[in-house]
Amino acid sequence: MYIASCTCTDYCCRQGHGFIPEYNGPDMSYQCSGLRPNTQYKFKVSAQNEKGWSQCSPTATLMTVAGVCGAPGTPHLKERATPACLHIAWSPPTNTGTHT
């Protein structure tokens, strides 16, 4: 009995709600860039050999981590200055690292 082997030559990585192709090529990994911090993304992958394209893999839901916070507000005097002491305050950053 002869068992033919098929080698996968290409992969297609699809991303998003419409699963738009992000990558087509021979590599079994792909680095996505330009993503938003603290955001979920969905991916599927299919493979191709000389017979055609496979069905897509199950969907993977992956999440980016939060980014760096923005700058706090400008420091200002909180209380009246004295000859030996300054009591200062500032507002928190408007960007807490969860958006760009």
Count of structural domains within the chain: 2
pLDDT at 64: 92
pLDDT at 94: 85
91: domain range? 67-100
pLDDT in tens, the chain (100 residues): 555 566 888 999 999 888 999 999 999 999 999 998 889 999 999 999 999 999 999 999 999 998 888 899 999 999 998 989 999 989 998 887 776 5
pLDDT at 97: 79
pTM, full prediction? 0.68
CA–CA dist 29, 32 (Å, integer) = 10
pLDDT at 6: 66
CATH number for position 29: 2.60.40.10
Q: In this structure, are 22 and 59 located in the same domain?
A: yes
In a domain, 4, yes or no: no
Q: In this structure, are 53 and 77 located in the same domain?
A: no
Q: Residue 64 in contact with residue 41, Cβ under 8 Å?
A: yes
